[in-house]
Amino acid sequence: MPNAATGNEFDYVVIGAGSAGCALVRNLSDRTGSKILLLEAGGSDERIEIQDPTKYFGLWGSDIDWKYETVPQEFANNRALRWPRGRVLGGTSSINGMVYLRGDRLDYDTWGYLGNYGWGFDEVFRTFTSMEGTSNGSSSGPLMPAVVVDQSPLSQIFIDACGELGINYNDNFNSGKLSGAGWNESTIYQGKRQSSYRAFLHPIIDRPTITIETNAIVQKLILNSSHRIEGITYIKDGKEHKVSIARELILSAGAVDSPRLLLLSGIGAPEELRSIGIKPVVELPEVGRNLVDHMLIGVAFGSASKIDGRNPFVTESCAFVGSNPGVVGSNVQISFVNEKNFVEGYEVPEHCFTVIPGIVRPQSRGWIKLRSSDPTVSPLIDPRYLSETADLDDFVSGIQISREIAKTKALSPWTTGEVAPGPGCSSDKQIRDYVRSVATTWFHPVGTCRMGIDSGAVVDPELRVQGIANLRIADASIMPTVVSCNTNAASTMIGWKAGELIANSKK
Ligand SMILES: Cc1cc2nc3c(=O)[nH]c(=O)nc-3n(C[C@H](O)[C@H](O)[C@H](O)COP(=O)(O)OP(=O)(O)OC[C@H]3O[C@@H](n4cnc5c(N)ncnc54)[C@H](O)[C@@H]3O)c2cc1C
């Protein structure tokens, strides 16, 4: 494999080998054969906790986690929440829960409605289809998401319980309609995690036009006086390296690090940059703004029977519901797992299951800012969780629906009773207090380099950063609004689509 530090010239440099970055490099390489350098701050993904789908909880807080943390959350009992992010080949797709849901037609048609041509549901549906493969050969992309086999019987009982409440069976969440209860697809292939790196790049690792430089921490983008990116600097083995860029630089460093790298390079709100000693180069005040994240909470029940041990920690099934009957589509995603989850601080018996309502169209918006001009210092992250009352209201409904699910004929024989928050937590006020003290991140931050056609947008619909000639962003940060389900599939699709956009603009 050629070494970037030897002075090779590259057509394209991509920063970040995560969900989006790996998909982008593969698609761009397949389409153009260009010389591409992929720089990744982390290293090898050869470890059992990544490959074995049941062991990923052990990766959070480990050496392959960026270990970010929010500032104390004013509306969530002043708790500072941990924000794991993958720092390894595959990025966060190497440490995530592997649920693979594309999103709802409404999610992408909203992007289209906002002026983002090419990003409506029908267009992104084609992108998903070309990126994914199926075991029956109906499509032949490299990523092989599928419903897990050998499901736990209790997951089926959850779906039956939802049916009793009129939450109808949805036989394919990835068709563009999320509402209903059904089976999640997962990025588990042949019994192992299929991260973006494993799907897109590992199979072509010997392709001579692709150079992957690991343990390479990009520090800064170098702009010339015409606002063109000339190169970047990165640190590897304690030494600084420079790489020049023939055609384009693409940031795929994720919703925290893409805006962070822009800010470190003087691209952002001028006053804020000056206040920490960074010379503003390009005025783009919304860099780091529009931060949105899903939250979730556990409602845990003791189990009357020993829980089947199949697929532990894999969220096999879930339901998408409206927090009230007038909701268009669904704004609460209720996951179901066969063990204790997201009920921090509560005593839970060994045999238990958790119903996990999550708010998937939150109204609260926050920001990411730099603390200092030092690239080694973690940024300030303030998602302003629960700052909008509507988010609390959605949680109250989600918890009430979760409790109804547990009371159904299908599920009640399994239940010895609710253990968290427990029957004592019944009034709206008590439930809100529970939410403020226990609800946590669903690990889905997006939106910090928002795509749009207005003057405040950070990137345009072709993912080009406003005011800079040869810089694009392709990762979760560009989502103008968050998709109403887990965000990995959408992030990966953004990378794959970016590969196509860049290849087309080269013609
Ligand atoms: C614990 C957890 C569980 C999750 N579970 C699910 C799930 O089950 N299903 C789902 O759909 N979503 C899940 N998500 C969310 C989903 O994985 C992310 O939305 C998605 O991976 C984001 O992709 P990305 O390409 O934007 O960023 P990432 O995948 O994070 O990629 C960014 C890459 O850039 C690298 N990088 C950053 N800064 C630099 C730098 N300065 N120099 C060089 N490289 C750099 C990083 O190391 C990383 O490899 C989960 C997330 C977490 C944290």
Q: Which residues pair with 355 in a beta bridge?
A: 299, 336
Domain extent at residue 331: 146-186+295-359+386-438
Positions marked catalytic: 444
DSSP string, 379-433: PEEE--TT-SHHHHHHHHHHHHHHHHHHHSTTTGGGEEEEEES-TT--SHHHHHH
Which residue is closest in CA terms to ligand 1's atom 18? 488
The verdict on the CB of residue 187 being under 6 Å from ligand 1 is: no
**pLDDT (tens place) for every residue of the chain, 507 residues total:** 344 544 567 999 999 999 999 999 999 999 999 999 999 999 999 999 999 999 998 999 999 999 999 999 999 999 999 999 999 999 999 999 999 999 999 999 999 999 999 999 999 999 999 999 998 888 889 999 999 988 989 999 999 999 999 999 999 999 999 999 999 999 999 999 999 999 999 999 999 999 999 999 999 999 999 999 999 999 999 999 999 999 999 999 999 999 999 999 999 999 999 999 999 999 999 999 999 999 999 999 999 888 877 888 889 999 999 999 999 999 999 999 988 888 889 999 988 999 999 999 999 999 999 999 999 999 999 999 999 999 999 999 999 999 999 999 999 999 999 999 999 999 999 999 999 999 999 999 999 999 999 999 999 999 999 999 999 999 999 999 999 999 999 999 999 999 999 999 976
First to last CA, the chain: 28
Q: Among the atoms of ligand 1, which is closest to the Cα of residue 216?
A: 43
So what's the pLDDT on residue 473? Answer: 99
* Residue 418 CA to ligand 1 centre (angstroms): 34
Which residue is closest in CA terms to ligand 1's atom 4? 96
Q: Which residues pair with 95 in a beta bridge?
A: none
The verdict on the CB of residue 16 being under 6 Å from ligand 1 is: yes
Tell me: do 95 and 151 sit in the same domain: no
Tell me: do 331 and 473 sit in the same domain: no
Among 395, 419, 438, which residue terminates a domain?
438
User: Which two structure tokens, joined as six digits, stand for 99?
Assistant: 């649920």
Look at residue 378 and tell me if it is in a domain.
no
The verdict on the CB of residue 284 being under 6 Å from ligand 1 is: no
Tell me: do 77 and 98 sit in the same domain: yes
* Residue 175 CA to ligand 1 centre (angstroms): 24
User: Which two structure tokens, joined as six digits, stand for 118?
Assistant: 């090419």
The verdict on the CB of residue 254 being under 6 Å from ligand 1 is: yes
**Spatial separation of the C-alpha atoms in residues 103 and 101, rounded to whole Å:** 6
Place of tokens 């030092």: 374
The verdict on the CB of residue 41 being under 6 Å from ligand 1 is: yes
253: left (phi over 0), alpha (psi -120 to 50) or beta: alpha
Residue 506 burial by Cβ neighbours in a 10 Å radius (0-12, 13-18, 19+) = middle
So what's the pLDDT on residue 1? Answer: 37
Instruction: Return the CA Rg of the chain.
Output: 22
Tell me: do 338 and 218 sit in the same domain: no
* Residue 281 CA to ligand 1 centre (angstroms): 28
Of 103, 85, 110, nearest to 19 by C-alpha is 85
Report how many domains make up the chain: 2
Helix 488-506 and helix 121-131: axis angle, to 10°?
A: 90
CATH number at residue 4: 3.50.50.60
Tell me: do 128 and 247 sit in the same domain: yes
The verdict on the CB of residue 94 being under 6 Å from ligand 1 is: no
CATH number at residue 397: 3.30.410.40
Omega into 285 within 30° of 0, i.e. cis?
no
Tell me: do 421 and 449 sit in the same domain: no
Tell me: do 420 and 479 sit in the same domain: no
So what's the pLDDT on residue 310? Answer: 81
Look at residue 364 and tell me if it is in a domain.
no
The verdict on the CB of residue 494 being under 6 Å from ligand 1 is: no
* Residue 500 CA to ligand 1 centre (angstroms): 21
Tell me: do 228 and 321 sit in the same domain: no
Q: What is the ipTM of this complex?
A: 1.00
Tell me: do 409 and 450 sit in the same domain: no
The verdict on the CB of residue 402 being under 6 Å from ligand 1 is: no
The verdict on the CB of residue 235 being under 6 Å from ligand 1 is: no
So what's the pLDDT on residue 2? Answer: 41
Q: What is the torsional sign of CA 309, 311, 313, 319?
A: negative
Q: Among the atoms of ligand 1, which is closest to the Cα of residue 16?
A: 34
Under 8 Å CB-to-CB from 126, ≥6 apart: which residues? none
Look at residue 373 and tell me if it is in a domain.
no
Which residue is closest in CA terms to ligand 1's atom 27? 254
Q: Within 10 Å of residue 405's Cβ, how many Cβ atoms?
A: 26
* Residue 121 CA to ligand 1 centre (angstroms): 23
* Residue 400 CA to ligand 1 centre (angstroms): 31
Under 8 Å CB-to-CB from 212, ≥6 apart: which residues? 1, 17, 38, 40, 89, 201, 205
**Spatial separation of the C-alpha atoms in residues 65 and 282, rounded to whole Å:** 31
Look at residue 375 and tell me if it is in a domain.
no
Tell me: do 495 and 464 sit in the same domain: yes
Which residue is closest in CA terms to ligand 1's atom 21? 92
So what's the pLDDT on residue 94? Answer: 98
Q: Among the atoms of ligand 1, which is closest to the Cα of residue 42?
A: 47
